[in-house]
């Protein structure tokens, strides 16, 4: 696993992913202070000094030992606003396992930015850092988050019933995951057309027709 050269810049069609900087405080605080953003994160939205301390920890990232988090701010190429952030948590360095996470501002919801940024983080996790398995844990009621992982083709591996409680209410959790082998299979370009059989499946249809 290569944790030495963590990417500090990743571009997608519409986004630029880069580490948070001190000047991002106002934009970071604006969405992290919102209770609706924390509705499915099993804790209250931080306020006051707790929020400031959380941001200060974000500015001093470490990604060496289990439990450490690699985080990139997701900014719009068009205008530079911060739409949210994507994270990889080092779950097990020995077993090459990481958990992907994402928090986006409702001001930038519904445009596919989270899906685009999480796809970029999966690419970093598998192709650059060399993880074997990347998983996501989400509240089963968090339909926006279910949409993100399902659009990206992660497999639902578990439905944990009432495994957590927040504000006196039991919650279910889903675990979604992708193996490196599944990622590579998906990322591999389609083979070039066979010059002998440019339409590919036509032969199969013909042979089916012969049988009937
Ligand atoms: C979870 C979260 C990231 C989902 O946000 P989102 O806006 O639904 O996700 P995306 O940015 O990927 O946008 C997807 C939506 O944009 C639409 N969309 C528009 N253009 C699109 C494009 N070019 N590509 C993909 N989707 C596009 C999709 O159809 C989808 O809409 P739908 O939900 O009505 O089907 C967001 O709600 C959030 O950050 N919540 C707070 C923190 C949180 O719960 N994090 C997850 C913890 S597990």
| pLDDT of res. 199 | 54
Instruction: List, for residues 149-203, the tens digit of each pLDDT value.
Output: 999 999 999 999 999 998 889 999 999 999 999 999 987 766 666 677 655 444 3
Q: Which CATH class is domain 10-136?
A: alpha beta
Ligand 1 centre to CA of 37 (Å) is 12
Q: Which of 144, 146, 151, 172 to mutate to test the pocket of ligand 1 (most atoms within 8 A of CB)?
A: 144
Give the DSSP per-residue string, 133-155: EEEEEEETT-HHHHHHHHHTTPE
For helices 113-123 and 143-151, what crossing angle results, to 10°?
50
- State whether the beta carbon of 144 lies less than 6 angstroms from ligand 1: yes
| pLDDT of res. 205 | 38
Q: Which of 36, 115, 142 to mutate to test the pocket of ligand 1 (most atoms within 8 A of CB)?
A: 115
| pLDDT of res. 211 | 41
Instruction: List, for residues 35-88, the tens digit of each pLDDT value.
Output: 999 999 989 999 999 999 999 999 999 999 999 999 999 999 999 999 999 999
Residue ranges covered by each domain of the chain: 10-136
| pLDDT of res. 198 | 56
Ligand 1 centre to CA of 116 (Å) is 9
Question: What pTM, to 2 d.p., does this model score?
Answer: 0.90
């Amino acid at each position: 696993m290569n944790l030495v050269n963590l990417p500090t810049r990743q571009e997608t069609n519409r986004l630029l992913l880069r580490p948070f900087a001190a000047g991002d405080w106002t934009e970071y605080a604006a969405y992290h202070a919102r209770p609706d953003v924390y509705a499915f994160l099993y804790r209250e939205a931080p306020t006051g000094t707790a929020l400031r301390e959380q941001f200060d920890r974000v500015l001093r990232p470490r990604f060496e030992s289990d439990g450490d988090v690699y985080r990139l701010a997701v900014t719009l190429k068009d205008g530079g606003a911060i739409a949210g952030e994507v994270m990889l948590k080092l779950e097990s360095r020995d077993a090459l396992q990481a958990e992907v996470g994402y928090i986006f501002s409702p001001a930038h919801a519904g445009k596919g930015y989270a899906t685009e940024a999480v796809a970029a983080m999966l690419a970093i996790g598998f192709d650059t850092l060399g993880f074997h398995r990347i998983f996501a844990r989400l509240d089963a009621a968090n339909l926006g988050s279910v949409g993100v992982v399902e659009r990206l083709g992660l497999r639902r591996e578990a439905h944990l019933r009432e495994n957590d409680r927040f504000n006196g209410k039991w919650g279910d959790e889903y675990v979604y995951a992708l193996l490196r082998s599944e990622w590579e299979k998906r990322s591999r370009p389609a083979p070039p057309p066979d010059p002998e059989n440019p339409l590919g499946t036509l032969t199969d249809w013909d042979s089916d027709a012969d049988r009937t």
